Amino acid sequence: MGPPLLRRTKPLLAGRATECGQLDQLLAEARRGHSAVLVLRGEPGIGKSALLEHVADGAEGCRVLRATGAESEMVAAPLDASVRDRIVAEMHGNPLALLELPRGSLRGTLAGGFGLPGDGSLPGRIEASFQGRVQRLPPRTQQLLLLAAADPTGDPALLARAAAELEIPIEDLGPAEA
């Protein structure tokens, strides 16, 4: 039996056992001579730096190179029309889904693309992400969101009147805006 994959002095990251295991496996493969590239991307605050520290802590005997960047340094490339059309088709015409995509990505995808390809349809993943986020909101906030969704006009005054009828302060929408 070979040596353990990693000797850690720090515990695994809370809620990130899957990602940490995948990263540990990546390091084990590197020690066996298999090369790989790790790209860690995602929104600020989701734990990218902590996952990188996890890798660096376990990379004993490996060369660790670090590079950092900021979004302001990124250059937006022109989008090919066929790519644009496919994105719009995948979103079923809902441009807000593009904003939700990074939030709705599976943790494995945000943790460097270790998730399996084809892990469900994109619209299905986005819907599941919205549902999960709404379910974590307070019940009164959920009720106000349901009222807003039921209003085909999008009139904020109408929403405020309906909220008043239900005796729910409109301020209870606050958690949904975070």
Q: What is the mean pLDDT of each run of 10 residues along the chain (178 residues)?
A: 47 77 87 78 80 87 72 59 75 63 50 49 71 90 90 85 92 84
144 and 173 housed in the same domain:
yes
Q: Is 55 contained in some domain?
A: yes
Number of domains into which the chain is organized: 3
Q: 30 — phi, psi (to 5°)?
A: -65, -40
Q: Is 7 contained in some domain?
A: no
pTM across the whole model = 0.38
pLDDT digits (tens, 9 = 90+) for 67-116: 766 555 455 557 778 877 777 777 666 666 666 555 545 455 444 444 44
Q: Is 3 contained in some domain?
A: no
